[in-house]
Structure 1
Amino acid sequence: MGQSWSTQPGVSKHRVRRRSLRKFIWQFPVILVGDSTVGKTSIVLRLTEGTFREDLQKTIGVDYYIHVLETTPTVRVKLQVWDTAGEKEHRTITQSHLRTILGGLLVFDLTNRQSLDYIRNWLVETCTVLDQCKCIFILVGHKSDLSAERQISQEEAEHIAADLGVRYIETSAKDDTNIQDVFLILASSIAESVKTEVSEVKGGMHGLTEINPVFLK
């Protein structure tokens, strides 16, 4: 069924549709990186569908999701969320997306120290590409609901994030802790970075081709 639009007398459907579309200011491609068991897909499904499932299949390659959020009362961001596979054989696929993304979440499992090593190794492997782009990352300690099984303290994780020069946030897809917040912070940070670069490029809109977001206003 097609989407219906409610209109006031004397206002065309075309005008109502255009007014609605003006609120979509930016479209950002972002990526989720992490080992295969850290719960990246659970995070995305909690964000986009508001659900949590224990019996999820492993991601193969890259899955794509769309989520719209408001960074301010008058500004909306359309996120293209790329959920990547964690297996080593798929890392080249992940790296191939780095030249087009604007940011992402570096996800590790708070109950699995080895998953934090995965993030360190991934950053080393992709440093050449990352040095050429201006991506904004957030380090995410996932499964915060499993406090009894925790192997990495918040203090240690914050110290690691500081060394990496990124922000640190703990999440849980199971009890919906900080899922919306972490994507809102990511989108807001990217938006601020984009605005700064646009203001530094003469010609305004011309600068968008250099920093990669899609402008929808």
Structure 2
Amino acid sequence: MGKDKTLNANGTDFRQNGGGQAGGGMNGHSSFQGNSHLHRQASRQCSSELYDLSCKVMLIGDSGVGKTCLLVRFKDGTFLSGSFISTVGIDFRNKVVEVDGSKVKLQIWDTAGQERFRSITHAYYRDAHALLLLYDVTNKNSFDNIRAWLAEINEYAQEDVVIMLLGNKCDVAGERQLRREDGEKLAKEYGVAFMETSAKTGMNVELAFMAVARDLKMKKTRKPDEPQFNVAEYVDQEKTTSQCCSS
């Protein structure tokens, strides 16, 4: 069994006195008293870096689908191996990326997938500009729960939030329970972008975040007479195929 643990941006454990509370009141109940503290902490990160616009991206999905690993792969280019450690509540990282000459700061929020932390996650939906919704291609249950996650998004998130569905862990070919076509069909049904990713190999991880950054940048800068950016079409054009992710 892994241990629940939340780390701040510097890798510091938020838990205090072994009491299971984190972030000044993040205890899994109906409210998260550490909201403002974490938001202030996130806004201070990258304050020394210049950027043209800032966007909030949330990683959501069941516990164990690889949200933290995906974030670490994108932020640091490394893979978290070893014992599984579940995120408690909310964690975040910042990364500034360049899109067509503009610097976009992605403030990426990593959320706990366990049901007992769901109310904490809800509090962050309304501020998110983009949501990366993950399932594990080796875990059919995590895929079956995607509709419930999409229902929550519909209830709590902004109407124009960017949504991308990611089938993670596609490198584990021998344990695959879901075909790529399953994810593509569901994404088409809900009108969202889709791709398969691997936090271990890095496949499509950069593309997922950069597609979101490009979409958000275009939304902020698009003139009325310019066509809207279609993130799903962009992903289809840009994503690569790999033998590790074959159906």
**TM-score over 0.5 for the pair:** yes
Point out the structure with the larger strand share: 1
Class of the TM-score when normalised by the shorter of the 2 chains: 0.7 to 0.9
The letter for the 2-side match of 1:65 is R
- Partner in structure 2 of residue 105 of structure 1: 132
Q: Which runs of 5+ in 1 are unaligned?
A: 1-20, 201-217
Q: Which runs of 5+ in 2 are unaligned?
A: 1-47, 227-247
- In the alignment, the residues of structure 2 paired with residue 198 and residue 101 of structure 1 have an alpha-carbon distance, to the nearest angstrom, of 24
Deviation at 1:103, TM superposition (A): 0.5
Q: What's the TM-score, normalizing by structure 1?
A: 0.76
- Partner in structure 1 of residue 115 of structure 2: 88
Deviation per CA, 1:58-112: give whole Å up to 9, x if none. Answer: 100000101111122x111110000000001111111111111100200000111
Deviation at 1:22, TM superposition (A): 9.5
Greater RCO (CA < 8 Å, at least 6 residues apart): 1
Q: Does 1:68 align with 2:131?
A: no
- Partner in structure 1 of residue 6 of structure 2: none
Instruction: Tell me if structure 2 keeps the 8 A contact 1:109–1:142.
Output: yes
Deviation at 1:175, TM superposition (A): 0.8
Instruction: Tell me if structure 2 keeps the 8 A contact 1:40–1:83.
Output: yes
Q: Does 1:156 align with 2:199?
A: no
- In the alignment, the residues of structure 2 paired with residue 194 and residue 37 of structure 1 have an alpha-carbon distance, to the nearest angstrom, of 34
- Partner in structure 2 of residue 79 of structure 1: 106
Structure 1 residue matching 2:53: 3-state secondary structure: strand
Point out the structure with the larger helix share: 1
- In the alignment, the residues of structure 1 paired with residue 214 and residue 147 of structure 2 have an alpha-carbon distance, to the nearest angstrom, of 25
Q: What's the TM-score, normalizing by structure 2?
A: 0.67
| 1:1-217 pair list within 5 angstroms | 24-54=51-81, 55-72=83-100, 74-130=101-157, 132-196=158-222
- Partner in structure 2 of residue 11 of structure 1: none
The structure with the largest alpha-carbon Rg is 1
The letter for the 2-side match of 1:39 is G
The letter for the 1-side match of 2:192 is V
Percent of paired sites with the same residue: 37
Structure 1 residue matching 2:125: 3-state secondary structure: coil
- In the alignment, the residues of structure 2 paired with residue 123 and residue 197 of structure 1 have an alpha-carbon distance, to the nearest angstrom, of 30
Instruction: Tell me if structure 2 keeps the 8 A contact 1:99–1:133.
Output: no
Tell me the C-alpha RMSD between the 2 structures: 2.1
Number of aligned residue pairs: 178
- Partner in structure 1 of residue 236 of structure 2: none
